[in-house]
Structures are given as C-alpha cells and as structure tokens.
Amino acid sequence: MAELSEALLSVLPSIRVPKAGDRVHKDECAFSFDTPESDGGLYICMNTFLGFGKQYLEKHYEKTGQRVYLHLKRTRKLKEEDNSSSTGDPPRKKPTRLAIGVEGGFDIPEEKYEYDEHVKIVILPEHLDVPRDGLEGLPDMVRDRIASAVEALLTADSASRKQEVQAWDGEVRRVSKHAFSLQQLQNGIRIPPCGWKCSKCDMRENLWLNMTDGAILCGRRYFDGSGGNNHAVEHYRETGFPLAVKLGTITPDGADVYSYDEDDMVLDPNLAEHLAHFGIDMLKMQKTDKTMTELEIDMNQRIGEWELIQESGVQLKPLYGPGYTGIRNLGNSCYLNAVVQVLFSIPDFQRKYVDKLEKIFHSSPTDPTQDFSTQVAKLGHGLLSGEYSKPAVTEGEQQADQKGVQDGIAPRMFKSLIGKGHPEFSTNRQQDAQEFFLHFINMVERNCRSSENPNEVFRFLVEEKLKCLATEKVKYTQRVDYIMQLPVPMDAAINKDELLEYEERKRQAEEEKQPLPELVRAKVPFSCCLEAYGAPEQVDDFWSTALQAKSVALKTTRFASFPDYLVIQIKKFTFGLDWVPKKLDVSIEMPDELDILALRGTGLQTDEEEMPDIAPPLVTPDEPKAPMLDESVVTQLVEMGFPMDACRKAVYYTGNSGAEAAMNWVMSHMDDPDFANPLVLPGSSGPGSTITCPDPPSEDSVATIVSMGFSRDQAMKALRATSNSLERAVDWIFSHIDDLDAEAAMDISEGRSAAESISESVPVGPKVRDGSGKYRLFAFISHMGTSTMCGHYVCHIKKGGRWVIYNDQRVCASEKPPKDLGYIYFYQRIPS
C-alpha cells in the first residue's frame, strides 16, 4: 500500500479533470480501432484524454512521459426482454424529417445489448493496477482528486458521441401558410376514432381527412401501383380545400399534414383545434398507419436498382480476412465507405500510408486524432490488416449473420477530421461520392506537398482546344484533372421502341388506376458516351482575341496524358428545366477492357495558327471602373436563386464567356465568405474597386502555409489575394499552383536562388504519369436512389480474380456484379 500511495502521489499533478470543451476519446484508440469492448480494453490518458489500445500504451508513455491511465473494459451481453412494454407504441415525437437520432427525426432504436464495465487506474512504467474502489487509505485530498477525475471521465460525452447522428437526413417541414387561416365548414361531420373508408372507393388504408369539409379520401398512387386511387388530390382540384391529415398517423404529438396548394408535407400548429372541429381528440389517438417518412424510406428501398446493385436476391458468400474488412455506417456515411474501400485497394495508397504506418505514428503530433496522415494510415491498416474482419458474433448468437455482417471498423475520427470545416462533409447528410472522392484527393494534396503523393495515379492533363470559327485560329490550354466525366446521350438508346411502349403502358395504367408495368431502363452503348465526350462543343459568345470581338468557337477536349488509374464518372445526375436535380435511369454496358488512345491530344499542328494571347477587355474607355457585363447571363443566374452580386462577379471573373462558365464559377465559390459581397474592381476602394488587404498577413498564417511545403512568397501572395483568410488562401494556392510553379521556374532561370523564389521540395509544374491508353476495369461504385443527396452507395472491387461487393459492414463474393448500373468506375492501366 505504501508503494501504491507513493506512486499515486507522484502522478497526482498530471491528473486532470475534463472540462467543457475537452475532447475525451474514451470510445476509440487514436492509432487503431480498439475500443473498450476489444480484448485488451482501452486506456485513456488522464492528462490528455486520448485513448490507446494495449499495443500503443507503452509507446505513448515513452513519447510523452504520461504515466497514469484509466483502463476501461466492457463486456457485451444481451439484455433481458422486458415484457411490460408494448412494441407497437408510437414514437415519442412525430418525425418531421428523414433522419434518425436527430431533432425532428426518428428515435434511435433501443440498444438490445447491455454492458458489464470494469474500471481501474494503471500507472506506468510499473504497471500498477488500482481498482476504482481501491483508493481507500489514501489521504482525503488525493483520494477526492483522483475519484473526481475518474468520475468526470466516465460521465463525460466522448468525442465520437458528438459526431454520431445516424442515418436518413432530410428536410425539416415548414409551417403551412394556411395553418392560421384555414376555413372549416360547419357541416356537422364527426369522424369516428377508427373504421375509416374512402368515400369514393373501398380503400381502408392510406386515407386522408380534408380539414375543411371533413371528406375522407384515399391518397396518391405510387409509381409501382401501390398507394391509393388519387381521390384526395382529385377532391382538392375540385374544391381547392388545401390541407389534409393522414388518418392513422394522429398521436398526441402530431400527425402527417399535407398541403396540396404548397405541394409539400407541412406543420400545422393548430392541428388539435382543426381536428377537434370534426370531433377528433388528439390526446386519445394512436398510430395505426405508416407515416410518409416511413413510406418514403420503404419506397426508396423498393426501387428496382436497389435489389440489383446490392445483389439482394442471391445468397452471397461472406468473406473475411485482410482486405475484406467492412465499415460501419455512421449515419449516411456509405459514400465515404465506398470511396475508401476502393482507394485502399490501390498499391500507391497502401505504400504511402499502410506500409509506412510505424513511421507516421512515430512522427505524429501531440494530438494524433487531428493529424491527417495518422488517421488515414490508421484507416488503411484497419481495412487491410484483417484484425477487424470477423463475423459479428455476440453472446446468445451461435453463428455470424448469414448475410456476412461484420463488426468491422467505425472510422469516426477519420470522418470527423476530413469533414472538419467543410459545409457538407462535416454534416451527417448523404453526399455525392464523386465530390467526396475529389475532397479526399484535395486533402491528400495538401498533406503530401513535400513527399510521395499517391494522387499521382489518378492525375492527368487535359488538353482543351478552342477554335474560332470566324478566323479559324486556335487556342490550346492544359489543366490538371482526376476524373473523366462521361456524358450520357439518351437519344442514343438502342431500345427506343421498348421505352416508347413502356411509357404508353405506364400512361394507360395511370389513367385506368392499375399497377404500373415493370420498369424498362434506357440502354445506351458505352461507345456513344465516349463519342459524346470527344465531340466538339459549340461555345457561343466566345471572346476571340484574333477578332477582338465576340465569336462562336468549337471546344474539343482530349487527354494530354493517360493516368495509371482512370476514374470515369457517368453523368447520371442532371438538372431539369426547373433546375431540380434528377437522375437518369440508364444502363450502360461498361467494357472490362478499354482503349482510349483515340482521345490522345496532338497539340498545335503545323497547319494551325494560334490566337494572340490577349486578355478580353472588361471595361469601357469612357468608364474605366464600370464593368461591361453580359446582363442576360447575370439575369439568368439571378433567376436560379443566386444573389445578384455573386452573379455579377461570376460573369466578370469568367470574362463574359457565357452562362455555363459563370454557373461553374458560382458552384465552385458558393462557400466563399464573400460570395454575396458586391463586385469590386481594380482602381478604387469601393464597389468597382480592388479588394485590398490593408493589413499585412499574420506570421502564423504564413508559417502554416510554408509548413505545407510552399515558399514564403507563395504564402504571402495567397493571403493577400484572399484578404488574409487562411482557409481561402490554401484553396487559392492550390487552384493557382500551375501559375506559381511557372513563376518559380522563371525565377530560377533568371538566376535567383531557390531560397529567394521557391522551396526546393516543390516540383515545377504538376507531376503526372503517362503511358498507354489501355485499361482494365477493377472497381466501381454504384448509387441507389433518385438523387446523390439520398439513397445508398456500395462498391464492387475485383480481388484475387473475383468480384467482391462491399456494402458497409457486409463483405461478400459477388455473383452478378451490376457493371451496367455503376456511377463511378475505376480502370487500371494494362501493362505494355
């Protein structure tokens, strides 16, 4: 006891009590996916509040000198069933959005397991174990200090808990404009508490009560023939009575209310009063029918492509071991899961992060949870080591789930870190896998500036040729890209007759109120998509420097280099005439082997004459500070709902080159803090003047950018160009990297030293690999749902000569990989 007291007294100054704002990592190891449920439990440093698995405990002590840790070990067991509660009770609060575990969403399902928790204090290097109740005999001050720290650690919300908002996330409903002025007829109608039926047919479910006249009518028919017979919406068209409530969803907490006038689900703050008009007491009603949010989720899962892409109709063989590790869905994180599974199947990413794991971990900063390289290496090791690729077996269950569900890994730290500060990836909403892929690539670029960069496997140069039709002169430019975006020419479908017949049968079924026919999907040949990519594109209102006037040009896109891995995105998601995003329901037979040599660029030809390199004029001689903007393009953008000032800047900064270029500028700058600020031009201090930066950039910001491998001059230039905004400066420097590298090369050629111009570690120009244009398909990511903002992602990867499907925690041998329904395809170069 004397030895124990002495040890505790010696570490007492390093023991901290967590306060508000402290991140307590008590659910996950900083370097592995060990948790308190792992065999060795989890050790939480009582000074830094970082968690460590047993294999990293000694290393943290040796690196930091921290000696005292709280050891948590939990054993999971099935809960005893509580027969006193009914399983059919309605949720406590009516869901108003497609979300789980968030305000307005569905309740998180009750945990079916409970845990036996074992807590003790461990002191290094002696490995002295002190049970939680073994502090008796210590001086009161020492005992109270340690006990309060232990209690605070155990009761504090973990860092990962703050990130856990699960599953479907949708729109919050708005209060109806009719809620406070709804007309209700004095017709004496009283609605019974049950036994309802449509007044125009025999439907007894999916019934809606019109809250103006009390009519009970069936709902809309769904695309698959289920639902109602459209009598409720027809009643609205005849009467104009706007609000209806779905019978069977009324509980003391609310109900599903639909506004036909507003064409949306809405909230009615006066719902109790409106229902009481027809004799309905909300407090006595119980849920007997599915809500619209529940039906929408069911509907998403009934769409045909869900069955096909997930291979749901086939008994698949589960796979386990290195490279076959599942990833838990942390709440709409399937887009992330699919992308990282593919990336860590590529040797360059394995070499960069997994092979150098020990080196990365050894050089990690004080807080490794906030270090990009550490968390990516941890993720890669978790996927490839096989340590977490085991059947999800728990007490009371004799074997693993037949569908191949694993415990897998839960990359909470990685998701939190890579989404930090991003307006979309920091949320738990569903995201576009292609956008996340590019975001991850950008993060790798930022963190590999001075070292080996695995992004080089995807990077290629695009050659764009603009030909002025008036002068026949040309302009060649090159840019870096990572994805080949392939258009889908729907008019090239080879089953047009089938599609026309399907549309006619569908129309007849809707008129006759019959089940809809089986879906017929457009079949577009891959060769037609490739032809559409390489076809010249007409550019109207092109400023020709040869004419010094507007002209019409043809733009042709070609490859200036072929990457090791070619990433192809099928442009299935488009905007309709109303600018509502929609998904093309199309089947494209993607080839197993691909040859794109015909798309190799040739550069300036001997019979071509280049246009002079002169910037287009943006101001008139009479008004040197007034921009000459194409007001028709500005108006077009404003009508889409963007701020006027942002639209003017978009047209200005794209040189009046048309609506498409301006729209691209808007989409890429929507997150800028000054996005909606007035346009300011060179020459003065107000609108129409330059954005000046009166204060010099802070040395901290300069040092941060220099630490990424850039020169001091580049850092200063980026900060001045972005009004000293560090985050925008980093984005700016990456978007201008070609210009900066070219300037650096010129500095060196003119005799200036590398120290004066650019860090020696920064290469001149983007580094790209080149080779043959022959490729073989090795992976693809598929999307199910009507929009990238909802639905589900899975990926298929070819490993060991067979296709494997990765569906979150399920990893199985694929029987029928749906290669024609993919969204993003990954092709590997075939060695010469």
Binding-site residue set for substrate: 208, 220-223, 258, 260, 263
Which amino acid belongs to residue 524? V
CA 333 to chain centre: 7
Structure tokens belonging to residue 283: 């407090």
The set of residues, in sequence order, having a beta carbon less than 8 Å from that of 54 and lying 6+ positions away, is 34, 40, 41, 43
Structural contact between residues 158 and 27, judged by C-beta atoms closer than 8 angstroms? yes
Q: Which residues are annotated as a binding site?
A: 198, 201, 208, 218, 220-223, 231, 258, 260, 263
Retrieve residue 757's tokens. 């111009």
Q: What ranges make up the beta strands (E) of 136-271?
A: 174-175, 207-210, 216-218, 243-246, 257-259, 264-267
Backbone dihedral angles phi then psi of residue 510, each to the nearest 5 degrees: -65, -40
Q: Kindly give the pairing relationship between strand 522-523 and strand 586-587.
A: parallel
Identity of the amino acid at 118: H
Task: Please state, in angstroms and rounded to a whole number, the distance separating the CA atoms of residues 229 and 201.
Answer: 8
Which letter does DSSP use for residue 431 in this model? -
C-beta separation of 247 from 289 below 8 A = yes
**CB-based contacts of 279, cutoff 8 Å, min separation 6:** 190, 191
Is 448 a residue of the active site? Answer: no
Positive or negative: CA dihedral 689, 690, 696, 697: positive
First to last CA, the chain: 72
Could you tell me the two tokens for 533?
Answer: 């990519």
- C-alpha 387/C-alpha 40 separation (Å) is 13
CA 285 – CA 196 distance, rounded (Å): 14
| Structure tokens that stand for 524 in this block | 């577009």
Which among 29, 45, 334, 790 is annotated as catalytic?
A: 334
Shortest CA distance to 566 belongs to which of 631, 486, 679?
486
Strands (E), 686-801: 774-784, 792-799
Cα–Cα distances in Å, from 119 out to 41, 144, 573, 782? Answer: 10, 17, 52, 44
Within 460-618, strands assigned E span 460-468, 474-481, 484-486, 522-523, 537-544, 549-559, 565-570, 573-575, 581-583, 586-587, 593-595
Give me the catalytic one of 235, 381, 792, 796: 792
SS3 state of residue 574: strand
Other C-beta atoms lying within 10 Å of the C-beta of residue 381: 24
- Residue 304 C-beta-side C-alpha neighbours within 13 Å: 12
Is 30:24 a contact under the CB 8 Å cutoff?
A: no
Q: Residues marked as binding for Zn(2+)?
A: 198, 201, 218, 231
**Best CA proximity match to 53, nearest among 79, 72, 80:** 72
Q: Quick check: bond before 125 cis, omega within 30? A: yes
Q: In the annotation, is 795 catalytic?
A: no
Length in residues, the chain: 832
Distance CA 734, CA 420 (A): 19
CA distances from 207 to 216, 224, 225, 245, 392 (A): 6, 18, 16, 9, 42
Catalytic residues: 334, 792
